[in-house]
Amino acid sequence: MAANPFDQQQAIPGVKKIIAVASGKGGVGKSTVATNLALALREFGTVGLLDADIYGPSLPRMMGALNQKPMVSEGNKINPVTRYGIKMMSIGFLVEEGSAVVWRGPMLFKAMDQFFRDVQWGELDYLVIDLPPGTGDVQLSLVQKIPTWGAVIVSTPQNISLVDAKKAIDMFERTGVKIAGLVENMSYMINPATQEKMQLFPKGEMNSYLDAKKITKLTEIPFNPSVSLASEAGIPIVESHPTGVEGLAFKDLAKKLAAMT
Ligand SMILES: Nc1ncnc2c1ncn2[C@@H]1O[C@H](COP(=O)(O)OP(=O)(O)OP(=O)(O)O)[C@@H](O)[C@H]1O
Ligand SMILES: [Mg+2]
């Protein structure tokens, strides 16, 4: 009988709650949610942030850590980069920004293995993992290799994004990872002239789908150019504007996830 790939699962010593931030579709705000969630979780314990987007790492730039390099210590262990009190690892620290990582599956699996086994994460209450879009090798490798506490699914409100979010949810369900809930990003926008809510993307069947699946909508993050600007500047919105609507929404998200078992 073929070996069950999930038998390879091994906890990361010292690391408690591993939260995967995922989506089906690209560009819906996973990395934005992962960075801000990590920053907001500092209130509840020690936090690590792993960029599992091997082909499109965004976290070094978003966390203002572009020119940092992780140090290799004795026994070929990798010391993570620390930024805003968060231990971080990303392939972006190892390759030049703008150059492509041209790896096939086996290399990719090896890199993921190193991220989990050779990085000295130390004692962490939370490890937030920013996944690439879709339901491919990296996502599978994650759920096979480490016991993930839960997945936070990010989607924008419209059906085009929801269709892909459903695939991500299906993948986690089939591999036995709990869906902690969904973050609706770019949920609406406040018109700066009138202060009225505007629907930037049409509301699709998100709420009825979540109801039917008994999945919690954890929070709604409005579209706000400040969110994007903050990430571009390397000071995510939770750090730059902790008491704004978005900062508070991310803090509320962290509080809910910290309280969940
Ligand atoms: N709530 C928001 N308001 C304004 N801009 C946002 C918001 N959320 C994300 N963005 C911007 O949208 C773009 C895509 O976000 P992000 O990189 O987080 O998405 P992603 O899902 O990680 O993308 P990829 O699939 O490529 O990894 C970024 O420029 C980001 O700053
Ligand atoms: Mg991303």
Domain layout of the chain by residue ranges: 14-52+121-259
Pairing of strands 124-130, 71-73: unpaired
> Taking Cα atoms as reference points, which of 2, 43, 20 lies closest to residue 238?
43
Confidence of residue 105 (pLDDT cuts 50, 70, 90): confident
Q: What's the pLDDT at 27?
A: 95
Q: What's the pLDDT at 129?
A: 96
Residues with CB under 5 A from ligand 2 (ion): 30-31, 58
Q: What is the pLDDT of residues 146-196, one digit of tens each?
A: 999 999 999 999 999 999 999 999 999 999 999 999 999 999 999 999 999
Q: Which residue has the tokens 């990003």?
A: 185
In the reported structure, the alpha carbon of residue 182 is separated from the centroid of ligand 2 by a whole-number distance in angstroms of 16
> Taking Cα atoms as reference points, which of 160, 100, 95, 87 lies closest to residue 128?
87
Helical H segments across the chain, by residue range: 30-41, 59-62, 105-117, 137-145, 159-174, 206-213, 225-232, 237-240, 245-259
Domain 14-52+121-259 adopts which CATH fold? Rossmann fold (3.40.50)
Q: Is the CB of 29 under 6 A from ligand 1?
A: yes
Confidence of residue 2 (pLDDT cuts 50, 70, 90): low
Average the pLDDT over each of 67-76, 144-153, 248-257 and give the range with the smallest value.
67-76
Average the pLDDT over each of 22-36, 132-146, 196-210 and give the range with the smallest value.
132-146
Buried b (16+ CB within 10 A) or exposed e, 73-85: eeeeebbbbebbe
Instruction: Give mean pLDDT, residues 122-150.
Output: 91
Q: What's the pLDDT at 5?
A: 67
Confidence of residue 109 (pLDDT cuts 50, 70, 90): confident
Q: What's the pLDDT at 1?
A: 52
User: Above 60 in pLDDT, residue 126?
Assistant: yes
Angle at 108 between CA 102 and CA 110, to 5 degrees: 130
**Average pLDDT, rounded, for the chain:** 93
**Proportion of the chain above pLDDT 70, given as a percent:** 98
Q: Is the CB of 58 under 6 A from ligand 1?
A: yes
In the reported structure, the alpha carbon of residue 28 is separated from the centroid of ligand 2 by a whole-number distance in angstroms of 8
Q: What's the pLDDT at 245?
A: 95
Q: Is the CB of 28 under 6 A from ligand 1?
A: yes
Instruction: Give mean pLDDT, residues 194-214.
Output: 95
In the reported structure, the alpha carbon of residue 9 is separated from the centroid of ligand 1 by a whole-number distance in angstroms of 31
Q: What global pTM score does this model have?
A: 0.95
